Structure 1
């Protein structure tokens, strides 16, 4: 089984691209979905203990938690120390299950693949990119997004140009979904030797 690390900066189209890989038959693990599940499950009491008042009815209030950690490196590191090991455990379980089911390709959707030093553990790295203007437009359309939040997120991410330079394959999402789908098909053919 080939394990592909899928990554890209905020607003580049990574979630859509992950869906396209799934539609082409790859087993896909979505880190954001895993975090959502953890925030409503085993991570909630750990986060409440570290950041009192951030859990409501057993579920982490992402907005409240975001206000506590964005732009606060120590608080963010504290949160990541709780969440990252749980996400990695979910990924490991996913890969085990994919292997057992005979998957030929597994895609790990990892937002901070380079930043967390995990790119070298993948068989291949696919980076999703769309260009700076497209990225900004997409991100600033998100509810509640501010310029300060956007800049804070960008500051934590490896620059797009560096990600593209380190990728085995780059998927350009600036030309629409059908074009991206064609690129995903070519990537799968290239990376699986087909």
Structure 2
């Protein structure tokens, strides 16, 4: 099984690339979906969030108030680190379970979609890293247009992540999403051909094991 990571800063187009890779046959393990599962009512992570940040980040029905929590952490590095320390271990356990299921099914290419891959130091845990990138100015406009955020809110979200220039040097492959959207499928298809030519981990052709 080939284990790859997919990452990209907010509004880079990473989710679109993940969907295109899935259409080509990759198994996608989405950290954002796992993060939502990790904080469902009754989970230890949600209890810990409530203890750390108080009842203002919880809704009346006991679910997480994501906008309220986002407001608390994106402008406060210490609060953001505290949240990551709660959520990331729970997400990692869920991802490990997903990888085990994929291995049992015999899936050939498994791609873990991890937005904060470099920030949490996971880039070396995979056979390769795919980075989706777009200019910060373009990502800012996408956040304002597509998510209805104020310019200040959108900029705070961008500033909470490493600049993409810092990530490009650590990526195995880079997909630049800086042009017409029609170009993206062709760029992903070209990458998929490259991935298909790679030896699977543990295969006879893999002499690095």
Q: Common fold, TM-score beyond 0.5?
A: yes
Q: SS at the partner of 1:125? A: strand
Alignment of 1:10 with 2:6, yes or no, is no
Alignment of 1:169 with 2:178, yes or no, is no
Q: CA RMSD in A?
A: 1.8
Does the 8 Å CA contact 1:31/1:87 hold for their aligned counterparts?
yes
66, 89, 93: which one aligns with 2:93: 89
The count of aligned residue pairs is: 194
Alpha-carbon separation, structure 2, partners of 1:176 and 1:91: 33
Report which of the two structures shows the higher radius of gyration computed on alpha carbons.
2
TM-score normalised per structure 2:
0.85
Match of 2:68 in 1: 64
Q: SS at the partner of 1:84? A: helix
Aligned ranges 1:1-194 → 2 under 5 Å:
1-41=1-41, 42=43, 43-53=45-55, 54-56=57-59, 57-193=61-197
Q: Deviations over 1:10-58 (max 9, x none)?
A: 1100111111111111110111111122232423222112222122212
Gaps (5+ residues) in structure 1? none
Does the 8 Å CA contact 2:34/2:94 hold for their aligned counterparts?
yes
Alpha-carbon separation, structure 1, partners of 2:194 and 2:52: 45
Alpha-carbon separation, structure 2, partners of 1:86 and 1:47: 12
Q: SS at the partner of 2:3? A: strand
Query: 90-99 or 160-169, which moves further after superposition?
Result: 160-169
Moved over 6 A (4+): none
Offset, 1:177: 4.6
Q: Deviations over 1:161-191 (max 9, x none)?
A: 2322322111122334543222222212212
Cα 1:162/1:74, change in 2 over 3 Å: closer
Q: Deviations over 1:43-91 (max 9, x none)?
A: 3222112222122212100011122222112211111111000111111
Q: Deviations over 1:69-115 (max 9, x none)?
A: 22112211111111000111111011111111111111111111111
